[in-house]
A and B are shown apart, each in its own frame.
Chain A
Amino acid sequence: MGFGFLLLPLLALLVRAPWRGLHRLLSDSAGLTALRLSLECATAATALSVLFGVPLAWVLARVRLPGIGLLRAVVTLPLVLPPVVGGLALLLALGRNGVFGRWLYSATGYSLPFTTAGVIVAETFVAMPFLVLTVEGAIRSADRDLEEAAATLGASRGMVFGRITLPLVSPSLLAGSVLCWARALGEFGATITFAGNFPATTQTMPLAVYNRLEVDPEQAVALSLVLLAVAVAVLVALRDRWLRPGGGL
């Protein structure tokens, strides 16, 4: 029954899909714009997550200091926080009158909310924990013995990380990136709160689906199908990792 509960809505989506007009609905320029914006923002958010998330994962996995538990809690929080709350928090921090945004605005005249950059920031905020936790687990279980061996050969900490640890955790890094990207692609709550819903600048696919639902339900279903296809593709790409009993994140 639980399985049916999970499956039924997806089947409904397929049954009600306007298969015949699909091509027309998807080649509509507004839909294409939303799709391209989504792909670009999700990819940028993933790149940022890798850039900042990997060092963070290393610190969480390796640094033995009091307060590391607290740090991990902060990293994990966006996973369980309602995205709308996350978006609001971002607004209060980075908005034109926000705690940091005010300073940023007066210094540069630039303000993040309601821009494409804002979409990327919102997506990064929500999606990065997926990458950090995946990579952290991999680093934690990575072979310390090999790192010691590298040290006895004269490798600095940085070189040990770059030449030994990172290559060894690269499958997890890839999986974490895909997961992060998929989450960023589907981001709705934080994006609409922090970046708004402006076509061509901040209206990503999920926002477009929501928008169209009122004016053109058929196109909403068509756009949803695209997102479903992406989700299935992600699942196929990571099947060895997830579709196996006992496989974790």
Chain B
Amino acid sequence: MTAGSPSGLRFAGEVRRGGFRLQADFTVADGEVVGVLGPNGAGKTTLLRALAGLSALTSGSIRLGGRLLDDAAAGLFLPAEQRPVGLVFQNYRLFPHLTVRDNVAFAGRARGQSRRHARTAADRWLARLGLTELAGRKPAQLSGGQAQRVALARALAAEPSLLLLDEPMAALDARTRLQVRAELAEHLTGFAGPALLVTHDPLEAMVLTGRLLVIEDGRVVQQGTPAEVARRPATQYVARLVGLNRYPGRVLAAGPSCTVELDGGGTLVALAGEQPVRAGQRVLVAVSPAAILLHAEQPAGLSARNVWPAVVRGLELLADRVRVRLDGRPPALVDITPAALAELRLGEGSPVWLSAKATEVSCYPEGEGE
């Protein structure tokens, strides 16, 4: 077992829950906010529970600031109440019989502070999060956004060395989410220790975190900055999440540009990336939905190297554009403006042509980032 860095968090271990197994190895530096991204049932919450001391590791260890929290081999396990770890639960879990102030004062009371001392400290946190007026309310009298802030205040009032947030905005409506996200960004920046934020909202992850940990089927499948992950999604899940078209395939011809035969049918020409690829190699090809052009008829005299026919299968209205789902070789998601939609008179079943410049198509070795 390697000695962890004296500061920050190091998780290297495995947790089993029922038939499920989560295995991960990663570090989070002090002051760093890492987003944990993954589909439902991937093991995100299992990871947080292990870090918080609500589940024990079956092997490996967790080290926080040079202190061992869990070491399966040594038989060491600090239960939740002995860990300096704050956890903001997805459904907040505020104590329904206590006022907002006493919810926030709870950690102080748990540490043996007098009621008055704990309440004074709680009032400071309430003021910091703009909750002073709500101090006397019961959780049932709070809106979703208010409850979320109280949950954050309650966790922060325990002065944890590690902060965990489990989908902190999943239960909020879109408008509240926008406001709470901005506030949360501010508090996360002010937090001195390592922080992990579980989410399956890519935008939330991009705005709030500096690095992403993508978990699928109990394994970390990709790590990197949000920009890296978005540019080179390692799996179909991440690609869909960041709205990329992603195709596995095999390189037919390599050079300054490479031609890739796609597993699902069709070929695409891509510009070679930083990592050189060679003929015969397994690769992933990624294209942004904004980089594909849609034409009513077969385009002529176009410089684009990739041109193929497709049929419209669905239309989805996004905030400022329309995402068109198309079946072809390969199938694709294409973003167009509402004006273009009207002009092209698209509907389900409409035959169209797609084109993409090789410079807009990236190609990288499969398994990268895993």
Contact = CB atoms under 8 A, between A and B. Distances in A.
Interface residue tally on B, bucketed by range: 20 to 34
Interface stretch (B65-73, B87-95, B246-254, B348-356): B87-95
A150 B97 contact: no
A155 B93 contact: no
Given A145-B91, A164-B95, A167-B97, A151 B79 contact: yes
B95 A148 contact: no
A159 B111 CA distance: 10
A64 to B, nearest CB: 15
Contacts of B89: 145, 149
A157 B82 CA distance: 11
Contacts of A146: 93, 95-96
B35 to A, nearest CB: 20
B81 A155 contact: yes
A149 B85 contact: no
Contacts of B158: 152-154
A163 B54 CA distance: 19
A159 B80 CA distance: 14
Contacts of A152: 52-54, 80-81, 83, 85-87, 155, 158
Nearest to A154: B110
Contacts of A157: 81
B154 interface: yes
A14 interface: no
B52 A150 contact: no
A30 B106 CA distance: 53
A163 B82 CA distance: 18
A152 to B, nearest CB: 5
A168 interface: yes
A51 B156 CA distance: 36
A159 B109 CA distance: 9
Interface in B220-251: none
Interface in B320-358: none
Contacts of B81: 151-157
B95 A154 contact: no
B110 A153 contact: yes
B107 interface: yes
A232 to B, nearest CB: 31
Nearest to A151: B80
A151 B79 CA distance: 8
A70 B97 CA distance: 34
Contacts of A156: 81, 110
A79 to B, nearest CB: 31
Interface in B30-84: 52-54, 79-83
Given A153-B154, A153-B158, A148 B80 contact: yes
A163 B110 CA distance: 10
B193 to A, nearest CB: 15
A220 B111 CA distance: 59
In order of increasing CB-CB distance, the 6 nearest A-B pairs are A149-B93, A154-B110, A151-B80, A155-B110, A153-B107, A152-B87
Interface of A: 145-146, 148-157, 159, 163-164, 167-168
17 contacts: A145-B91, A146-B95, A150-B95, A150-B106, A151-B53, A151-B80, A151-B81, A152-B54, A152-B81, A152-B87, A153-B155, A154-B82, A154-B107, A154-B111, A155-B106, A156-B81, A164-B95
Given A148-B54, A156-B110, 7 more contacts: A146-B93, A148-B80, A149-B93, A149-B95, A153-B154, A154-B107, A155-B81
